[in-house]
Amino acid sequence: MTVITPVTTETVASSAPFWRLKGFPVIPVSILLFIAFVAVFADVLAPHDPQIGSLARRFKPPFWLEGGSLAYPLGTDHVGRDVLSRLIFGARVSMVVGITAVLVAGSIGTLLGIVSGYLGGWADQVVMRITDTWLALPALTFAIFLAAIVGPSELNIILILGLVYWTRYARVIRGEVLSLKQREFVRLAIVAGCSKSLIMWRHILPNVINSAVVLATLMLGVVIVTEASLSFLGVGVPPPKPAWGLMMADGKKGLMVGYWWLTVFPGICIMLMVLSANLLGDWLRVKFDPQLRQL
Amino acid sequence: MSSEPLLSLENLSAHYVSQQGTRVVRAVDDVTLSLKAGGTLGIVGESGSGKSTLALTILRLLPPAARIVSGRMMFEGENLLDKSDTEMRQVRGKRIAMILQDPMASLNPLFTIGDQVGEPLRVHDGASRATAWQRAVALLKSVRIASPETRVSQFPHEMSGGMRQRIVGAIGISCEPRLLIADEPTTSLDLTIQAQYLSLLRELQREHGLALIFITHNLGIVAKMCDQLAVMYAGKVVEQGPVSQIFSTPVHPYTKALLGSIPRMTDNRDHLTAIEGQPPDLASLPPGCSFAARCPMAFGRCRDEAPPEFAVGEGRTARCWLAVPNADAKAAMERSNVA
């Protein structure tokens, strides 16, 4: 028996709002939105000051354990600071560092990718050889090296992460531009007498933004893990600022004597955020740009 | 205006050179053509005969591997080959505009029609966005787009193929160029839309006093559109002159073969007429006439010596030994034929 399947999914779905699209990662997006919400309203949400503690109440366990209290639901650390409040403010650090670092990396990489791809010739050679060299350096080691030179601060971390991760953008965007510049509308712009810079700005850039956004979402997870790693290693966000990586570093000595809540909660936060960002990025990648699938 | 032509190409050659310099492809070879203001020149030839390269040569937009090796391109009294890149950019779109092979894909999907039609005005005349927008509406009207006021703020995907094509035409004429080069602009359209578009081009040409270069492999379009015709083969113009004369009395065997291969309604033959053989490899042309190997009328001299352009009448030339004008030469030709 022949069953005529109606044309569904893609064509019909394209008119539906994006959160109704097939396979839209509802849970990861909710988690990301929740973290963003927490980060924005940290001042209101946090029950205690994240940076001031009292030695009288150090190493209190979470509330459901013997000796815990609802005043400090996730316990306190080695100087008596509230873990929950630090996690809440830590979300702000992760979000701010993650997003701005991705923006920095994205701007440098997209710019160089467009210039390199569109102009070709020696400009392309120079940019791509630098990119190759850059990619040959192990990212984390390179970031530690840079952090050791300029010293740890939130701004420096953002710049360092931007400098370390722009190469992926440059590669992908360049590839995109190479095919775009063969497109008929770019040739028409050339024939109409537009200058190279105008063509790059008006005809190439808007057409690569899609890929750049997909890549940015994928990079967000990578950048957050690197930020946490740097903070953990002591070359990231300087204490007493509450960064998740830093909290894990501070708590690691406590693991031996059973103060597990100092490391497990920030660990869960990092994991949830990175996983959510990656799942969203994967979905966007498949949805918007099947060409990026191999990356 | 004097009788000086708007555009005249003199012995123009453009070659592709391989990186080692060992292979030279003579894509445009010793082309001499001229076009008067308001005239229409058709350039026909099969694929790979150098038609499109010739168009790109006129705009000086050849790919990096290609070089203009000799000749002059006089346009409104200036040699385009003497211009700097910046000066050439001011010519493109402003004084010489071009419609590309695939106008369907010629619009940027991310910008409104108004932005794209107005773009050359903003680039060349420094028009403000608002002025360019106003002009865009007028231009859309002139290419017979219904309700241009609403169309102008729509995006390319909201247009039909024929409309997109006319919009590309509007972009072409937006800066009122003197010369419009159309490189096979109708190949991607169906026949009825083709006919509409061609008559639109004719009207625009009359209204704006445009000169038109029409690159095509469709002789029917040439008959309808053009008053001058140049037939290209293997990078050379083998025959040129007024369309009516070439159609009624073709001189070059290639032109004859081309005209003979047009199928006609009255034919009751079973087969289509084709030209035997393949065009030569442009990188290793034979010493003589490049058509000799396929030419039914070739004789000894054709294979040894490339024919120059002979005048074969008022404003007509042909590159063929059969077109040798005077009797002595004909006699010499016959002698060599016997030997």
Q: pTM for this structure?
A: 0.78
Q: Which of A184, A198, A207 sits opposite B102 (nearest CB)?
A: A184
Does B92 contact A192 at a Cβ distance shorter than 8 Å? yes
Confidence of residue A19 (pLDDT cuts 50, 70, 90): low
Closest by CA position to B149, among listed B174, B119, B114:
B114
- Which residue(s) pair with B72 in the sheet? B10
Cα torsion B135, B138, B142, B144 to 10°: value is 120
Per-residue pLDDT for A22 more than 90?
Answer: no
Q: Which amino acid type is present at position A223?
A: V
**CATH level 3 topology of A25-41+73-294:** MetI-like fold (1.10.3720)
Closest CA to A227 of A159, A172, A171: A159
Q: At what angle do helices B191-208 and B161-173 cross, to 10 degrees?
A: 20
Q: How far is B285 from chain A, CA to nearest CA, in Å?
A: 30
Percent of chain A with pLDDT over 70: 91
Q: What's the mean pLDDT in A6-11? A: 45
Residue burial B53-73, b: 16+ Cβ < 10 Å; e: rest: bbbbbbbbebeeebebeebeb
% of chain A surpassing 90 pLDDT: 28
Q: How far apart are CA B203 and CA B143, in angstroms?
A: 9
> Which candidate from A187, A193, A203 shows the least CB-CB separation from B123?
A193
Domain range summary for chain A, segments of one domain joined by +? 25-41+73-294
Going by pLDDT thresholds of 50, 70 and 90, the confidence category of residue A72 is confident
- State residue B326's pLDDT score: 65
Give B89's contacts in chain A (Cβ within 8 Å): 193-195
- Name the closest residue on chain A to residue B87, using Cα atoms: A193
* pLDDT per residue of chain B (339 residues) written in tens, 0 to 9: 446 789 999 999 999 888 777 788 888 988 999 898 889 999 998 888 888 889 989 999 888 888 888 899 999 888 999 989 889 998 998 899 998 877 778 888 888 999 999 999 998 888 889 999 999 999 998 888 888 899 999 988 888 888 888 898 889 888 889 999 988 877 767 778 788 888 888 888 888 888 999 998 888 888 888 999 999 998 899 999 999 999 988 889 999 888 888 777 776 767 777 787 788 888 888 888 888 888 888 888 888 888 888 888 888 899 988 887 665 565 555 555 554
- Greater pLDDT, A240 or B78: B78
For the stretch A159-193, pLDDT in tens is 999 999 999 899 999 999 999 988 888 988 998 88
The whole-angstrom distance between B268's CA and the closest CA on chain A is: 42
What ipTM does the predicted assembly reach?
A: 0.79
pLDDT computed for residue A231 by the predictor:
86
| Residue B208 CB partners (closer than 8 Å, separation 6+) | B173, B176
Which pLDDT band, with edges at 50, 70 and 90, does A108 fall under?
very high
- The mean pLDDT of A103-111, rounded to a whole number, is 94
Determine the pLDDT at residue A4.
56
The answer for B55, left when phi > 0, alpha when psi is -120 to 50, beta otherwise, is alpha
* Confidence tier at A295 by pLDDT (50, 70, 90): very low
Distance from CA of A233 to the nearest CA of B (A): 45
Mean pLDDT of A79-100: 89
Give the model confidence (pLDDT) of B113-171 as tens digits: 999 999 999 988 888 899 999 999 999 988 888 888 999 999 888 888 888 888 988 89
H helices of chain B, in order, are: 51-58, 85-91, 113-125, 129-142, 148-151, 161-173, 191-208, 219-225, 243-248, 253-260, 300-304, 327-338
Give exposure, A219-246, as e/b (b: 16+ Cβ within 10 Å).
Answer: bbbbbbbbbbbbbbbebbbbeebbbbbb
Contact indicator for B9, B31 with CB cutoff of 8 Å? yes
List the B7-17 sheet strands across, edge first. B24-35, B7-17, B66-75, B78-79
> In this complex, is the C-beta atom of A14 within 8 Å of any C-beta atom belonging to chain B?
no
| CA–CA distance, A285 with A101 (Å, rounded to integer) | 20
* pLDDT band of A9, cuts 50, 70, 90: very low
Looking at per-residue pLDDT, the higher value among A195 and B103 belongs to A195
144-203 of A, contacting B, C-beta below 8 A = 183-185, 187-195, 198, 202-203
A196, closest residue in chain B (CA to CA): B89
Q: Write down the mean pLDDT value for chain A.
A: 84
